[in-house]
Amino acid sequence: MALPQSDEEWIHYLSIQHDAEMPELERLNSHYEGTQPLTYMHPEVLREVEDRIQPVVIAWPQLVVDALEERLDVEGFRLPDEERQDDDLWRVWQANEMDEQSQLGAVDSLVMRRSYVSVGTNEDDPDTPLLAAESPLEMYVDVDPRTRRGRAALRRVTDEDTYARIGERHATLVRPDYTVWYEYGKHGWNEVDRDNHRLGELSVVSLVNRARLSSPRARGNVAQRQARNGQSELAPIIPLSDAANKIATDMMVAAEGVALPLRGFFNVNPDDLQDAEGNQLTAVQALLKKFLTVPDSGEGAREFEFAGANLGGFHESIDALAKRVASLAGLPPTYLGFTTSNPASADAMRSAESRLVKRAERKQRAWGGAYERMCRIVRRLQTGEWDPRMRQLETVWRDASTPTVAQKADAAVKMYTTKPDPIVPLRQTRETIGMTAAQIRRAERDDERRRQQDPLGAIARGMSDGGVPAGVPGGQDGDGDDS
């Protein structure tokens, strides 16, 4: 198939590709939101109980996704040959509220296979390019299977007026050398604005979750496209979650029908049972109203009662499914409500989280590369040139594990106070215990002020640490590095 040549052809081509996968993306999103339809339930039962019993939805998909997303926090960007993080890139990140948007993008990527980050020029402030997290429900990127780089991207949104019931449709076509904005009118898409940035690279970065090299379900370019579009974290969880929702709803139906004692009558016909309006009750309605009739028993009418049913079997089935979910998602048992009479020790809890921590670290490595490409585009828009040093940029992530503050501080201090020489400098020690860049700069200013006010005290403190005092030949400077 020949590639599109004009912008209008690209819009048509990308729209078809995007529309083809929208039902699957919406299905995955509905399971995360807990709005999916109930499966495995017989339609007759649903019709009888829908006015009194709502489907029970156990939010395991949301738990699986959120447990990972909570460990994926970006803290900065740094070049390997620089001691400090890049303050300018972090300024652009903060100015675009990417702290908040990156969380939204991570959730969408884990749920719906991928999300995107778009980079654009800022006419009001050229030194602060625009960044925005994009949903796969609104954006689609076509990837060249040969170069594995994006060839074109399309974002479509509709501004709906609830009162007037009129929706304005907008589209943005992104190509390597330009970006075009459109509005939909009577005669199709009409160009509104254009930005000829001449980047030579698509200014949309994909955050792909669990990308594969190939897909066994298709062949050729289709297989590569499906594989590199990623896979949802919910793919193995949804069947188990649907089964648990069905069992939980069955439990509610059973609680309505047989959990309470069931009363019955001998020598009473079903036709004798009527509702308050005089309408005859069906067999299912009579059962749900806790009445059972046994006609023509040969004796006079008499009442009997069965004891309520035990619902423990439902609990055991749900617990068995929960264990499978924990195994597939790498979640500690406590996340799914499994506890013992003797609480687990701190070491045991950290050991139970090891798989979850490793999964989060894998996401950090894959998505770190995407954020680094984003930063290279930002620097290109700022300076007008591609900086070769930016190819070595690395993303600084928060520790995916959950050590306590005391544990982090204890480990950091031990590395800094080793004798005769510290293993790490003071600045890295402060980074390890979780201080932000602004806090570190403030602490360094305080260190310098104390050295100027009390130089003899600084020498004494250096001697008490077992090393050469700071500020003297052969000693250490204020951040612990060799001078």
| Confidence class for position 63, pLDDT limits 50, 70, 90 | very high
| Average pLDDT of the chain, as a whole number | 81
What per-residue confidence (pLDDT) applies to 179?
A: 95
Residues 165, 52 within the same domain: yes
Q: What is the pLDDT of residue 425?
A: 81
Rounded distance, CA 149 to CA 370, Å? 12
- pLDDT over threshold 60, residue 324: yes
C-alpha 104/C-alpha 139 separation (Å) is: 15
Strands (E), 347-477: 394-397
Does some domain include residue 356?
Answer: no
Q: Give pLDDT tens digits for 290-305.
A: 555 555 555 555 555 5
Residue 448 has pLDDT above 70, yes or no: yes
Domain boundary among 317, 343, 369: 343
Q: Does residue 77 share a domain with residue 15? A: yes
Report d(CA 370, CA 208) in Å as an integer: 9
Same domain, 43 and 176: yes
Residue 23 maps to a domain: yes
Is 274 within a domain? yes
Do residues 329 and 273 share a domain? yes
The reported pLDDT for the residue numbered 139 is 96
**Residue found under tokens 């950090």:** 364
Which segment, 150-159, 273-282, 412-421, is predicted with the most confidence on average?
Answer: 150-159
Q: What is the band of 250 on the pLDDT scale with cuts at 50, 70, 90?
A: confident
Q: 85 and 210 share a domain?
A: yes
Q: Evaluate the omega torsion of the peptide bond into residue 420 and state whether it is cis, within 30 degrees of 0.
A: yes
Same domain as 466, residue 407: yes
Say whether both 277 and 157 belong to one domain.
no
DSSP for 13-39, written as a single string: HHHHHHHHHHHHHHHHHHHHHT-PPP-
C-alpha 385/C-alpha 451 separation (Å) is 42
Q: CA 321, CA 317: separation in Å to the nearest integer?
A: 6
The pLDDT confidence band at residue 14, using thresholds 50, 70 and 90, is very high
What pTM was computed for the model? Answer: 0.77
Task: Assess if residue 353 is contained within a domain.
Answer: no
Where does the pLDDT of residue 476 fall: very low under 50, low under 70, confident under 90, or very high at 90 and above?
very low
Q: What percent of the chain has pLDDT over 90?
A: 45
Query: Is residue 96 packed enough to be buried (19+ CB in 10 Å), middle (13-18) or exposed (0-12)?
Result: buried
Considering only residues 160 and 97, tell me which one the structure prediction assigns the higher pLDDT: 97
Same domain, 218 and 262: no
Question: Cβ neighbours of residue 136 under 8 Å, at least 6 residues apart?
Answer: 25, 108, 112, 113, 114, 115, 116
Q: Does residue 393 surpass a pLDDT of 70?
A: yes
Domain span including residue 61: 7-228
Say if CB 339 and CB 352 are below 8 A apart.
Answer: no
Checking if the pLDDT of 60 tops 60, the result is yes
Q: Is the pLDDT of residue 257 over 90?
A: no
Residue 33 has pLDDT above 70, yes or no: yes
User: What pLDDT, on a 0 to 100 scale, did the predictor assign at position 85?
Assistant: 85
Q: Give residue 384's pLDDT.
A: 92
Q: Give yes or no for a contact between 109 and 205, defined as CB atoms under 8 angstroms apart.
A: no
Strands (E), 260-375: 262-266, 291-294, 302-306
- Of 328, 343, 358, which closes a domain? 343
What pLDDT score was predicted for residue 341? 59
Taking 80 as the threshold, does the pLDDT of residue 11 lie above it?
A: yes
244 and 120 within one domain: no
Helix (H, G, I), strand (E, B) or coil at 124: coil
Percent of the chain residues topping a pLDDT of 70 = 73
Token pair, residue 309, equals 């049913």
Cβ(432)–Cβ(416) below 8 Å: no
- How many residues are given for the chain? 483
pLDDT confidence tier of residue 260, bands split at 50, 70 and 90: low
Check whether residue 258 and residue 120 sit in a common domain. no
- Do the domain assignments include residue 349? no
Query: Are both 334 and 244 inside the same structural domain?
Result: yes
The answer to whether the CB of 264 falls within 8 A of the CB of 291 is yes
> Residue 352: inside a domain, yes or no?
no
For residue 293, the SS3 value is: strand
Higher pLDDT among residues 464 and 41, named by residue: 41
Instruction: Identify the pLDDT of residue 415.
Output: 79
Taking the C-alpha atoms of residue 312 and residue 309, their distance in angstroms, rounded to an integer, is 9
What integer pLDDT is reported at residue 98 of this predicted model?
95
Residue 2 located in a structural domain: no
CB-based contacts of 467, cutoff 8 Å, min separation 6: 419, 420, 421, 422, 475, 476
Highest mean pLDDT pick, 92-101, 394-403, 418-427:
92-101
Q: What is the pLDDT of residues 329-370, one digit of tens each?
A: 999 888 888 776 566 666 777 778 889 999 999 999 999 999
Q: Tokens in use for 462?
A: 């250096």
In-domain check, residue 378:
no
Reported as a single tens digit per residue, the pLDDT across 105-154 is: 999 999 999 999 999 999 899 999 999 999 999 999 999 888 888 999 99
Do 188 and 292 belong to one domain?
Answer: no
* Total domains, the chain: 3
Question: Helix (H, G, I), strand (E, B), or coil: what is residue 362?
Answer: helix
- Residue finishing a domain among 228, 248, 268: 228
Using the predicted structure, report yes or no on whether residue 189 has a pLDDT greater than 60: yes
